[in-house]
Amino acid sequence: MRLIWIALALFGIQALLAWHGLGAQEVLARCLFLSIQCVALAAIAAQYRRDATPIRGLWLLLALAVGMQVLWAGTNLIAQVYGDPRGWLTSTGVVLSGLYMIPCMLMIARSFDRREPKAVLVLDLALSLEVGVLLCALVFRIIAGAGEPTSADIYVIIHHADAIDFLLSILVVLRMLGIRSMHGRFFYFCSAVFLWINAIAAAIYNRVELQGLPPWSLPMISLAYVALAIVVSQPMPRSLRRYRPSRRMTQTIVSFAPVVTSLAVLLLAVSVSRLNYILGMVAAVASVLLYALRVAFIQSRNQDIQRIAQLNNQRLQQQVGRDPLTGIANRSLLDTRLPAIWRDGARQGKTCALLMVDIDFFKQFNDSQGHLAGDECLIKVATVLAANVTAPQGLVARYGGEEFAVVLPDAQEAQAIEVAEQLIDAIERIDIPHPQSPIGRITVSIGIATLICSNEGNATMLLEAADQAMYRAKELGRNRHETTGAPLLNPSCVHLERPAS
C-alpha cells in the first residue's frame, strides 16, 4: 500500500508540473518519470518476495521487461543532461525500449512445465534474442544511418513497435484466460494491465514526438507504471478468482502462444530484409528452424513420457504378481505360470522340475531375532535364490511363509540337483547367523520333483511331489536336498502323504 501512495504522489507532482508547463524534455520531468518507473519495479520485487510459488520466475521476467524501460528512460536522461550530437544515445534508448519485448515473449511462450526439456528454454531464448538483433539492425540502420532519417523511416519503426506492443498485449490476455493457477492468472492480469496501457500510450507518444513532446506526454506514459504498481499491490479481482478455464482450453493456448511469437519474429525478419536482405532472410530461416526444433523437442519429450508410462505400466503389471516383501514372484503368479509351463511341456513331451525350498528352523530364528530380522533373512534368501536361477523361463516364487518354489522348465533331474546344490552353497555363503540352529547359521532344505509333463497329470502333482521330497530332506537332517527319484511317467503314482516334520 505504501508503494501505491508513493506512485500516486509522484504522478500527482508530475501531472501538476506538466499542467504548469514543465516540458517533457526537462531534467526534472524525466527524473519524476524515472522515479515512477522505479516504484513500479519495487512493487514487482515486493510481489516476488510474497509469492512463494513456481510463478516467481514470471515476476522476474516482468521485472526485466520494466527494467529495460527504466534503462530507456535513464539513457534519455543522460542524453538530455550531456547531449547527444551523433544520436547514438537516442538510438540506444530506442533499442532498450524495444528490448522489453524479449522477457515479454518468454513469459508468453513458456509453459513453465518442469518436465519440459531445457532445450526448449534455450530455443525460446534464442528466438527472443533474434528479435533484439533485428530491432537493433532496424533502429540503427534508420536513425543512426547516413543522413537524417525521414518521417517515413521513423514511421516504419513506429508501426513495428505498435504491432509488437499490441500483439504482446493480446497474447498476455490469452495466457491469463488459459492458465489454471490463480497465482499465474494474477500475474498475467497485472502484465495485461501494464502492457495494454503502455501499448496505447506508446502509440500516442511515438507520434506526437515527431512534432515535439508536449508537457502531458510523460504523465501519459507514466500511467502504465502507476497502474502496474497499483494492481500488483492489490488482491486479485474476485472475478478472476472464480474463473477457471477448461484443461483443453489451457493446452490450446499454451500451444498457440509460441506459434504466434514465431510468426511475429518471421514478419519482423521479412520487414528488416527490405533494409538488409541477407540479415532479414537469415533471421527468417532461423525463426522457422527454431520453431521446428521447439516442436521436435516437445514431441520427443511427449514420446519419452509415453514410453515411461508404458514401462511403468509393464512394471505395475509385473508387481501385481510380486511378493511385496521379497520382490520375487508371489504364490498367485506361481499358480498362473506353473500350469502354463506344464501345458507347454505336455504339448512337446518335455519334463519339468520343481524345487521346494524351506528355511531350516525359521520359527526359532524369528522368535529369537525378532520379526524385522526375520524379514531381512527372507529378503536375503529370496535374492540369492533369484540370482542363482538362470534357466530360461525359470521362475523363483515365494510359496508362503519361509517356503520358496523354483520352477525349471525342460530340466532333467540331474540339472535340478545341480541347481539345488548351488542354492544350498549360496545360502551358506551369505552366512546369516542363527544361534538356535545346530549349524549356527541359516540353511535350507530342498525337495526336488521332476515329472514328464502329460495331459493326464497337472502341475499340482508336481508341487505335492516336491513338497514331499522337501519334508524328507528335513527328516534326514536338513541343509540338504532330496528327490522323488527318477522322473515319474504317471503323476498318480506320487505318494501324497506328508511325513512328520
In this structure, the answer to whether residues 213 and 74 fall within a common structural domain is yes
Residue 316 vs residue 10, higher pLDDT: 10
In this structure, the answer to whether residues 240 and 336 fall within a common structural domain is no
In this structure, the answer to whether residues 27 and 90 fall within a common structural domain is yes
In this structure, the answer to whether residues 128 and 12 fall within a common structural domain is yes
Neighbours of 162 (CB within 10 A): 17
Which of 295, 315, 350 is a domain's end point? 295
Is 10 within a domain? yes
Is 304 within a domain? no
Is 309 within a domain? no
In this structure, the answer to whether residues 122 and 236 fall within a common structural domain is yes
Reported confidence tier of residue 485, pLDDT bands at 50, 70, 90: low
pLDDT tens digits along 23-58: 888 889 999 999 999 999 999 999 988 876 677 888
| Domain around 487 | 331-493
Rounded distance, CA 104 to CA 65, Å?
7
**pLDDT, position 286:** 85
Is 326 within a domain? no
In this structure, the answer to whether residues 145 and 229 fall within a common structural domain is yes
Backbone angle region of 431, left / alpha / beta, with phi > 0 → left and psi within -120 to 50 → alpha: left
In this structure, the answer to whether residues 392 and 254 fall within a common structural domain is no
Beta strands across the sheet bearing 351-359: 395-400, 403-409, 351-359, 444-452, 481-483
pLDDT tens digits along 488-501: 443 333 333 343 33
Q: How many domains does the chain have?
A: 2
CATH assignment of the domain containing 65:
1.20.1070
pLDDT tens digits along 330-342: 888 888 889 988 8
pLDDT tens digits along 279-297: 888 888 888 888 888 888 8
Reported confidence tier of residue 210, pLDDT bands at 50, 70, 90: confident
Reported confidence tier of residue 473, pLDDT bands at 50, 70, 90: very high
* Residues 64, 65, 68: CA angle, nearest 5 degrees: 85
In this structure, the answer to whether residues 249 and 379 fall within a common structural domain is no
Residue with cell 515479454: 104
In this structure, the answer to whether residues 287 and 338 fall within a common structural domain is no
In this structure, the answer to whether residues 252 and 364 fall within a common structural domain is no
Is 308 within a domain? no
Is 230 within a domain? yes
Quick one: what percent of the chain has pLDDT higher than 90? 36
In this structure, the answer to whether residues 175 and 289 fall within a common structural domain is yes
Is 312 within a domain? no
In this structure, the answer to whether residues 130 and 71 fall within a common structural domain is yes
pTM of the model: 0.60
CATH assignment of the domain containing 364:
3.30.70.270
